[in-house]
Structures are given as structure tokens and as C-alpha cells.
A and B are shown apart, each in its own frame.
Chain A
Amino acid sequence: MACFTVTVVEAIATTIATKAVEKRERKLQKKENAETGASVGISAEHKIPFSRKLKWLNRMLWGGSALLAFEHLWHGEIVPYFPFLTAASNPEDAAEMLREMGTVGVSMALLVTLVWLGIVGVTALMEKKAAKEDKSETEEPVK
């Protein structure tokens, strides 16, 4: 009925968070560059910025919500006039809609976030491995 609205709300929140994180990262990078005199931070070589990782979540949430909203439009659950959701026009349907948002909608948001956390976990391991490999390559071989 309106389960996608939960993921839309999460997408809005994560988009705002991404902007804030991006701003902080740029500040930190500038500071690091000023201290080391390098144009690119050494730590940045094997590290994916957190803002980039957050963008993955944003894209999944916005993209999924857009297609789900289209599905609701297809089924006539969204209308181009107030209150936009047909279920919101009477109290009985509105209660059902809220129940669905609390169950299906929240589960959708949770699953997408959990999958994203899994991706972030795997990439963190890959970052560590790449940094380790690079370190062992630069070290002198033991004779």
C-alpha cells in the first residue's frame, strides 16, 4: 500500500548523512594534505571513503523505492491528487496501510541496510588485504 515510503524516508536520511560525511572527509583530506604536503592522502590509497559507501546505500534505497513507487502507481495505490495514497482516503484502509508500513516497509529498509552492511564488511576486508599486499611488496625481501 505504502511500504516504499519507509525506504524513501531512510533514503532521505542517508542522503543528508552522505552530504555531511562528504563535507567532513573533504575537510580532513585538506588538513592531511596541508600537513604532509601530498596532493592525495597516503591512507586514501587503499581506503574507500565512507561517503562513497553511503552512496551505495543511497542508490539502492532511491532506486528500489522508485521502482516500488512505480509498482504502486501501476496498481492504482498512488494517485496524482491529494492525499496521493488511495489507502489514506478512509480510516480503515489507513490503518491497514500503517500496519503494512510497519511490517513490510520496515523489513524492506532493514534488509537493504543489512545487505549494505555486508557489502561494507566485505570491502573493509578487501581494503585490509590490499593494504597488506602493498606493504609486503614495498618491504625488502628477507635474505
Chain B
Amino acid sequence: MTLLITLFAAIISTVVWYKNAPKSEMQTGILCWIYWGATLMWTVDAVFEYAELGSAFFEPEPAAVLNDTLLGLAAVALGLLIWLIVLLIRDPKGNLRAALFKKKKE
């Protein structure tokens, strides 16, 4: 489930990036790389797990599915958080600087 959720996040972020390309004001490219990197790594993890468990890999316990789903959602949230921090630090639109500057003036 973690792999599947991250894969969906990677696909969605890539579609969003492509829709806005070549502009990169929202730096969605970063999000794509994060999720694709994690998807590839979890794919390897899944292959090794399948090699170990065989067909049982596709019949997980409901509790394990729930835990994996929560983990997947939490991983997606962490990816978004990393992206948000990078976005605010880089501040490509200058909105944060403008807001801070305005605040200082007041």
C-alpha cells in the first residue's frame, strides 16, 4: 500500500509539473523527484519481499494493510512538507520576502 500510494503521488505530482512547465514558480519538480525516488526504492523493497514471501505477499493481513496505508499517507505528507520548506526557502515568486518586508515596514 505504501508503494501504491507513493506511486500515485508521483504520477499526480508529475502531471501537475507537466501542466505548469516550463514555468516552475511552485517548484513542483522537486516533489516529482522525491516521490519517484521513494517509489523506485520501495519497488525494490517490494521485489525482495515478494521473493521471500511468494504469493503471500499479495494476501496481507488487514492490520498490516491499514498500517501500510497510514504509512503511505504519512510519507506523502512528509514529501509535501519537504517541498513546502524548499519552496518557502527559495521563494521563487518573492511572496514571502514581500510579505516579510511589508511587515517590517509596518
Contact = CB atoms under 8 A, between A and B. Distances in A.
A58 to B, nearest CB: 8
Interface residues of A, number: 24
B20 to A, nearest CB: 17
A28 B44 CA distance: 39
For the side of the interface on B, what is the size category? 20 to 34
Contacts, number: 76
A60 B6 CA distance: 13
A113 B73 CA distance: 26
B30 A7 contact: no
B4 interface: no
Contacts of B35: 63
Contact of B78 (A59, A62, A66, A104): A66
Given A3-B41, A66-B34, A71-B75, 5 more contacts: A60-B33, A61-B37, A67-B34, A103-B48, A111-B43
Interface of B: 2, 6, 30, 33-45, 47-48, 71, 74-75, 78-79, 82
Interface of A: 3-4, 7, 56, 59-68, 70-71, 74, 103-104, 107-108, 111-112, 115
